[in-house]
Structure 1
């Protein structure tokens, strides 16, 4: 690579600005503007790409709406009621609260689509419940909450899958369906690890819920439990698009918390709206920067160049997927997941298509890799969030998370090399891939 070429200089500037602390979205915009200046291209192209990309992609609107739905869910009593219901299901087993932590992640997965929202919302409550009276160490509770939150964006709805659909033009509906079985597999393997550890360390058994209490607890949680049913049912029956369903999810969470549970104050409503706006703006800035930078990448013909290079290596679909997994797992240790989806993944897509790899299957593989990056050291975002919530040293959280991470890698291997395992449910519902 010529280090004095406009593209090389742009990459150096983007990297330098990012290391200096400038948001990666702004760094990509700055580097792209410099590239266009050095290449003698029209500087107005930056604004054109930004506006065309942000305003012509209707699917982007679902991202802030899913974030808003998660915030409305967390400020109401929905979380508390759902945790009580999960305790009815699995709390009676040894290590019951640890199992509850996993089951609640499955339930919340059908509502928010964000691992960070799950960890910061229900995860905070699970941390307090598990460490009460010293039943579990803070580091184990934090590690478990971090790895279970990863399940959220794999089971639909999923913000990372929405972003992948944006860059790959794959069907969001079928991506959502394809994530169900892999997400449940990952949760099941996490429960296996909890059961092994529970018997080895003699974890406590929670007091069983009286049979007469079960109908009352279920009834209290029923409106919240219907949220994923309403959300996914509207998508898969064709009543709404995924973006419209995201708006419906936010409205449903607000109505349930405000009208039925009556658990939202005006102050909490304002705070949650403000927080979701900040989170949405952060993601929007990253998407905007990537749209401009991807235009630069297209001008430089980088995807086609990489496609030709990988084709010359005579890679099979299996060896290509192994290469992608290794690269994404390594990048996930040092880069934020959305940045990987918007910058790195589009480069792989032409080669994946040329090799005949199904785009829905490839999307699930990519998203699982991205989610693993949230809990892999040294820069796993969920590890630092749970360190802040629990007060436990990050090294202890990493130690307790490692057995779960190994099971998650096993899940990734199954998902990667058994595409029919991922695609059988979408095909059952009409997918032709």
Structure 2
């Protein structure tokens, strides 16, 4: 590799700017413009790539709409009603509140599509419930909330899957379907681990919810529980596109929280719109930076060079997948998930395609892997979020997270070696027919 080449200098610039604290999206734009200048190319190409990629792709609009839906859910009483419903189902067992934490993440996964939204919203409530009266160690409650939030982007809807569909040109509908069984499998793994730990560490047994209260609690939670049905029903019935479904989800969340539950003030609504706008803007800049940098990568012919290089290794599809997952697990320790999807996966997708690996299956495996990076030390984003929420040292949360992380890596292994776990449901709906 020529370290004095325009591409090497641009890579160094992007890395240096990111480490100095500049947002990754801005760093990629600056480094790409530097490359264009050093290579003697028209620097206006950067703006052209950004406009062509962002303005001509209708699917990107789904991202801010799902973010808004998640914010609206968290400001209303939807969270409290859903937690009561979960507690009525599994709260009566030993370690019941810990099981509630897992179950509520599964339910919220079908609404927000964002791990960070789940941790920052219902995670705050679960942290308070689990630590009240010294029921659970604060570090354990924080670690469990972090790992359960990982389920959010696997069960549809999923913001990372929308971004992956954008870079891979795969069907969002089939990607959403492919995430259902892996998400349920991850939930099962976590619930089994919690049940074992509850007996081993003698976690408390909560007073059971009287069975006569269950119908009332279910009725109160029913409108919120219907949100995934409305969302996914619109997509798979063909009534709405995924982007239109995201708008329906945001409108439905506002209708239920403000109209039916009457639990949203104008001030809360304003702040939720503001928060979703800020998050959407940061993701938008990251996508813009990735579009420009991917143009640079294409000019350098790096995807084709990588494909030829890996083909020379004569890897089998499984061998390639194992190599990719090791690389992604390592990158997940230091890079943010959206960056990996936008920058790293477009380089790997051509090789996966050449090896005959189904891109829907490949996307689900990669996204599960990337989401594990959110709870992987030393730079897992969810670990830092829960450190602030729980106000406990990072090292204590990491110690509690490691057993869960090991279990989820085992679950990832099942997904790699058994593609039907991801593809069974899409094929049931006609994928590949």
TM superposition score category, shorter chain reference: over 0.9
Name the counterpart of 1:38.
38
- Separation (CA, whole Å) in 2 of partners of 1:44 and 1:195: 58
Q: Please list the CA deviations of residues 173-223 of structure 1 after superposition, one character each: whole Å capped at 9, or x if unmatched.
A: 000000000000001000000000000111111111112211111111010
The reply to whether residue 76 of structure 1 matches residue 76 of structure 2 is yes
- Separation (CA, whole Å) in 2 of partners of 1:211 and 1:353: 53
- Separation (CA, whole Å) in 1 of partners of 2:72 and 2:326: 37
Deviation of 1:359 (Å): 0.3
Name the counterpart of 2:240.
240
Name the stretch that deviates more: 74-83 or 87-96: 87-96
The reply to whether residue 278 of structure 1 matches residue 278 of structure 2 is yes
The reply to whether residue 174 of structure 1 matches residue 189 of structure 2 is no
Name the counterpart of 2:419.
419
Deviation of 1:232 (Å): 0.7
Name the counterpart of 2:260.
260
The reply to whether residue 17 of structure 1 matches residue 17 of structure 2 is yes
User: Any stretches of 5+ residues in structure 2 without a counterpart?
Assistant: none
Aligned residues: CA RMSD: 0.6
- Separation (CA, whole Å) in 2 of partners of 1:76 and 1:42: 50
Map 1:315-334 → 2, pairs under 5 A: 315-334=315-334
Deviation of 1:2 (Å): 0.5
- Separation (CA, whole Å) in 1 of partners of 2:355 and 2:416: 15
Deviation of 1:43 (Å): 1.4
- Separation (CA, whole Å) in 2 of partners of 1:131 and 1:185: 27
- Separation (CA, whole Å) in 1 of partners of 2:73 and 2:394: 28
User: Any stretches of 5+ residues in structure 1 without a counterpart?
Assistant: none
Name the counterpart of 2:124.
124
Q: Please list the CA deviations of residues 37-78 of structure 1 after superposition, one character each: whole Å capped at 9, or x if unmatched.
A: 111111111111010100011111100000000000000000
Deviation of 1:235 (Å): 0.8
TM-score, scaled relative to structure 1 = 0.99
Aligned partner of residue 375 in structure 2, secondary structure: coil
Map 1:110-121 → 2, pairs under 5 A: 110-121=110-121
TM-score, scaled relative to structure 2 = 0.99
Number of paired residues?
A: 433
Aligned partner of residue 218 in structure 1, secondary structure: helix
Name the counterpart of 1:409.
409
Deviation of 1:402 (Å): 1.0
- Separation (CA, whole Å) in 2 of partners of 1:200 and 1:28: 48
- Separation (CA, whole Å) in 1 of partners of 2:107 and 2:187: 11
Aligned partner of residue 111 in structure 1, secondary structure: coil
- Separation (CA, whole Å) in 2 of partners of 1:232 and 1:91: 28
Map 1:23-422 → 2, pairs under 5 A: 23-422=23-422
Aligned partner of residue 357 in structure 1, secondary structure: coil
- Separation (CA, whole Å) in 1 of partners of 2:420 and 2:225: 30
Name the counterpart of 1:430.
430
Q: Please list the CA deviations of residues 129-167 of structure 1 after superposition, one character each: whole Å capped at 9, or x if unmatched.
A: 000000001000000000000001000000000011111
List, as ranges, runs of 4+ consecutive aligned residues in structure 1 with deviation greater than 2 Å. Answer: none
- Separation (CA, whole Å) in 1 of partners of 2:239 and 2:414: 33
